[in-house]
Amino acid sequence: MRLSRYFLPVLKENPSEAQIVSHRLMLRAGLIKQSAAGIYSWLPMGFKILRKLENIVHEEQARAGHLAMLMPTIQSADLWHESGRYDAFGDEMLRIKDRGGREMLFTPTAEELITDIFRSHVSSYKDLPLTMYQIQWKFRDEVRPRFGVMRGREFLMKDGYNFDLTKEDALHAYNRHLVSYLRTYERMGLQAIPMRADSGAMGGDDTHEFLVLAETGESEVFYDSAVTDLSFGDREIDYSSVEDCAAVMEEFTTKYARTDETHDEALFNEVPEERRRTARGIEVGQIFYFGTKYSEAMGATVQGPDGKNQPVHMGSHGIGVSRLLGAIIEASHDDKGIIWPEGVTPFHAGIVNLKQGDAEADAACEALYSALTLMGLEPLYDDRNERAGGKFASMDLVGLPWRITVGPRGLKNGVVELTSRRTGESEEMPPEAAVQKLG
Ligand SMILES: Nc1ncnc2c1ncn2[C@@H]1O[C@H](COS(=O)(=O)NC(=O)[C@@H](N)CS)[C@@H](O)[C@H]1O
């Protein structure tokens, strides 16, 4: 992409309304623009990153054997009356009347609708296990939307729902989701620690939240520092194996790690004192097992092997896709701006031309642009007639992992400068070598 043809409204000053660094940087880097409290427009670069996050979520859900689908954002209140959550959800639910005066709502979550779809078409245990998920916008009329996309009112969520014949099968689905989440967050360059949490409005008993440690996190957490040494890595796992998934659950959730809602001081004191940590975290996902709460309320039953009809066991599993942009920036930035992990960066390298209009420099930039594009690496070429300092400042703010600086002096020696955004280290090398290094 050429910056002269892009839409990237970078702000020079820190917006006064932004209280945390990720909110500040998302506005300054021209990723989002607030349209109302807690509601944002996603400008081209912000939207490009959001789609990268969605793609990672889709890939890891597919790897786990979960089926992608899409439900509407506007739902009839009927199903919510049936489940008894219409009133229970309270003021967070945005209630709407259509032209016929029918009660509708902008969905805050979708247990009711997915259960209705299931009960309309599935009646035999032979069709189980079944997990379907969507990546869809939600609305929750938060009493205090704040911190930008971190606590929005309209936000993007991956919400997945499993339907199983028995509690054991549903707990395997729970563990399978934990595995898929560990991989998902690591691919985004995040360490998201699973912690015992409270089930709140979703109901049920077993639930873990996934938290990214950050001072600006809204959740207070208590954990054994040993959990920060765990990583899933690129190990192979058989998602259909109950043992394999249970082993990962065991490995990642045996040591003490809880949110304040479930914190148990006595248990915490059993952790060796030098390993006890209290911190704040950003909740980037949560998985739930809630048994037959919805299937009984809504008559979602299957005929079991014994011929008897029984309500299915369910769970729901969410990832805060739009919140993740904020979480990643909180975890990866410096005083100059964002530092995007390679797995989610909107462009792989910035090309900075120190002398736009200089025939040799322009030609070298065009050659780099084509070579990188041919390799499938998306460059962002700052071809504007700006002074070098301004170009460097924009590139640092936007946070691409690499910057290639091209100038007439360097070209005289047959070199360009390759700079790593994370380390700030620069190295001079021939243009071809820079392309190879990024490849
Ligand atoms: N106001 C919000 N703004 C941004 N992200 C949010 C907001 N509320 C929740 N989320 C994200 O959405 C994830 C899932 O939300 S949840 O309430 O925990 N779970 C559910 O709604 C279940 N139905 C999961 S399918 C959270 O872990 C969080 O990362």
Give per-residue pLDDT as tens, 13-39: 989 989 999 999 999 999 999 999 999
Residue nearest ligand 1's atom 2 by CA? 151
pLDDT for the residue numbered 50: 98
pLDDT for the residue numbered 194: 98
Residue nearest ligand 1's atom 23 by CA? 109
Asked if 144 and 79 touch (Cβ cutoff 8 Å), the reply is: no
Burial (CB < 10 A; 0-12, 13-18, 19+), residue 276, is: middle
CA 279 to chain centre: 21
Pairing of strands 206-213, 192-196: antiparallel
Average pLDDT over residues 375-392: 95
Residue 283 alpha carbon to ligand 1 centre in Å:
8
pLDDT at 228 over 80: yes
Asked if 214 and 282 touch (Cβ cutoff 8 Å), the reply is: yes
* Rounded Cα distance, 439 and 436, in Å: 5
What are 34-55's pLDDT values in tens digits?
Answer: 999 999 999 999 999 999 999 9
Residue 308 alpha carbon to ligand 1 centre in Å:
36
pLDDT for the residue numbered 201: 76
Q: How confident is the model at residue 206 (pLDDT cuts 50, 70, 90)?
A: confident
Helix 431-438 vs helix 359-374: crossing angle, to nearest 10:
30
* Rounded Cα distance, 368 and 363, in Å: 9
Structure tokens at 78: 């009927």
Average pLDDT over residues 342-371: 97
Residue 202's nearest CA partner among 301, 93, 116, 287 is 287
Report the mean per-residue pLDDT for the chain: 96
Query: Which of 138, 323, 324, 328 is the pocket-test mutation for ligand 1 (most atoms within 8 Å of CB)?
Result: 323
* Rounded Cα distance, 26 and 21, in Å: 8
Which H or E element spans position 25?
helix 21-28
Residue 178 alpha carbon to ligand 1 centre in Å:
16
Largest Cα separation within the chain, whole Å, is 82
pLDDT at 205 over 80: no
SS3 350: strand
pLDDT for the residue numbered 131: 98
Structure tokens at 2: 């050429």
* Rounded Cα distance, 311 and 330, in Å: 43
Residue 210 alpha carbon to ligand 1 centre in Å:
11
Q: How confident is the model at residue 198 (pLDDT cuts 50, 70, 90)?
A: confident
Pairing of strands 402-406, 333-334: unpaired
pLDDT for the residue numbered 55: 98
* Rounded Cα distance, 209 and 229, in Å: 18
* Positive or negative torsion for Cα 275, 281, 284, 285: positive
Q: How confident is the model at residue 199 (pLDDT cuts 50, 70, 90)?
A: confident
* Rounded Cα distance, 326 and 25, in Å: 9
pLDDT at 414 over 90: yes
Average pLDDT over residues 383-395: 95
Residue 159 alpha carbon to ligand 1 centre in Å:
8
What are 237-283's pLDDT values in tens digits?
Answer: 999 999 999 999 999 999 999 999 999 999 999 999 999 999 999 99
Structure tokens at 438: 């990024």
pLDDT at 200 over 90: no
Residue 321 alpha carbon to ligand 1 centre in Å:
9
Query: Which of 109, 150, 157, 212 is the pocket-test mutation for ligand 1 (most atoms within 8 Å of CB)?
Result: 157
Radius of gyration, CA atoms only, the chain? 24
DSSP state, 180?
A: H
CB under 6 Å to ligand 1: residues? Answer: 109, 140, 142, 151-152, 155, 157, 159-160, 202, 283-286, 316-318, 320, 322-323
Q: Does the complex come out with an ipTM higher than 0.95?
A: yes
pLDDT for the residue numbered 258: 96
> Model's pTM, two decimal places?
0.97
* Rounded Cα distance, 25 and 285, in Å: 23
pLDDT for the residue numbered 204: 73
- Give every CB contact of residue 90 below 8 A, 6+ residues apart in sequence: none
Query: Strand locations in 77-129, DSSP E?
Result: 94-97, 103-106
Count CB atoms within 10 A of the CB of residue 176: 28
- Bridge partners of residue 96, in order along the sequence: 104
- Give every CB contact of residue 401 below 8 A, 6+ residues apart in sequence: 339, 340, 341, 342, 345, 348, 349, 420, 421, 422
Number of the ligand 1 atom closest to the C-alpha atom of 282: 29
Q: How far is CA 58 from CA 134, 138, 398, in A?
A: 9, 18, 25
* Rounded Cα distance, 400 and 383, in Å: 16
pLDDT at 202 over 80: no
pLDDT at 203 over 90: no
Helices assigned H by DSSP within 109-226: 111-121, 167-187
Q: How far is CA 209 from CA 8, 182, 286, in A?
A: 34, 12, 4
Asked if 95 and 77 touch (Cβ cutoff 8 Å), the reply is: yes
- Give every CB contact of residue 59 below 8 A, 6+ residues apart in sequence: none
